[in-house]
């Protein structure tokens, strides 16, 4: 796993110190440029795993990102290099106006205002929503908020993307467009999703979380879940 951009080594996650483990003994590696689908039922731990990767939840074991061990001293630097999409866009939209929100990551890195806004417009355009640039965030639909949040995750050109259900609020053409866009990027990606068609369209391999553990999938198949799932 030494060449991995993201590596989990024997990681166990609990919501509280005395609670049963949600995920136990998780080990995985994500190589540069790899696009990996993270599959599993609701409540299986997909979101929990993504949050742990950027220090949003406590964990036992070892997590390395960009070759650095995740911890208090490295957390800020690691987060600045990762593009993260929450499964609820409201959790990451911070500014009243769309353009300011998308440009925030660049401004935090010291990019001049005019350049940051130009790059933010380009990120919105890549997702087909450049017309939202001057809109107030609270006037947007859920699907629009999700695309704005994704534009903010992509705008800095991160080496690693952690995406939580990125296709959930999109119609079929929107999902196809997003899958094509992600395939064009050079970033490594770990994508939590229920959408098997989307996973097939943009991911190179898949991992399945079940019963607190993680398993490689032979392929991204329609029979990964029971017939009546996902739900």
Tens digits of residue pLDDT in 39-66: 999 889 999 999 999 999 989 999 999 9
pLDDT on residue 86: 94
Average pLDDT over residues 3-17: 90
pLDDT on residue 102: 97
Question: In the chain, pLDDT over 90 holds for what percent of residues?
Answer: 81
Average pLDDT over residues 165-179: 91
Q: What is the mean pLDDT of the chain?
A: 90
Does position 26 have pLDDT exceeding 50, yes or no? yes
Tens digits of residue pLDDT in 206-215: 999 999 999 9
CATH number of the domain located at residue range(s) 1-81+158-219 in this protein: 3.40.50.300
Average pLDDT over residues 137-157: 94
Answering whether pTM is above 0.85, one says yes
The per-residue DSSP string of 186-201 comes to -SEEEEE-S-HHHHHH
In sequence order, the 6+-apart residues with CB closer than 8 A to the CB of 172 are: none
CA atoms of 177 and 171, how far apart (whole Å): 10
pLDDT on residue 30: 96
pLDDT on residue 159: 94
192 band by pLDDT with thresholds 50, 70 and 90 = very high
Does position 226 have pLDDT exceeding 70, yes or no? no
pLDDT on residue 219: 64
């Amino acid at each position: 796993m030494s060449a991995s951009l993201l590596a989990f080594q024997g990681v166990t996650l609990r919501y509280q110190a005395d609670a049963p483990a949600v995920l136990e003994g998780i080990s995985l590696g994500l190589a540069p440029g790899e696009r990996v689908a993270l599959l599993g039922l609701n409540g299986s731990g997909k979101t929990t795993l993504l949050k742990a990767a950027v220090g949003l939840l406590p964990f036992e074991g070892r997590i390395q990102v960009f070759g650095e061990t995740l911890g208090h001293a490295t957390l800020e630097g690691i987060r600045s290099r990762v593009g993260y999409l929450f499964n609820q866009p409201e959790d990451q939209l911070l500014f009243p106006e769309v353009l300011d929100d998308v440009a925030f990551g660049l401004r935090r890195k010291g990019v001049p205002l005019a350049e940051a806004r130009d790059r933010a417009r380009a990120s919105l355009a890549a997702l087909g929503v450049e017309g939202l640039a001057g809109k107030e965030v609270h006037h947007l639909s859920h699907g629009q908020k999700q695309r704005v949040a994704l534009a903010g995750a992509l705008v800095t050109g991160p080496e690693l993307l952690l995406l939580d259900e990125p296709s959930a609020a999109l119609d079929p053409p929107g999902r196809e467009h997003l899958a094509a866009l992600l395939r064009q990027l050079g970033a490594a990606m770990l994508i939590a999703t229920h959408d098997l068609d989307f996973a097939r369209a943009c991911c190179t391999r898949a991992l399945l979380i079940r019963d607190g553990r993680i398993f490689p999938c032979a392929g991204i198949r329609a029979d990964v879940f029971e017939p009546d799932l996902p739900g």
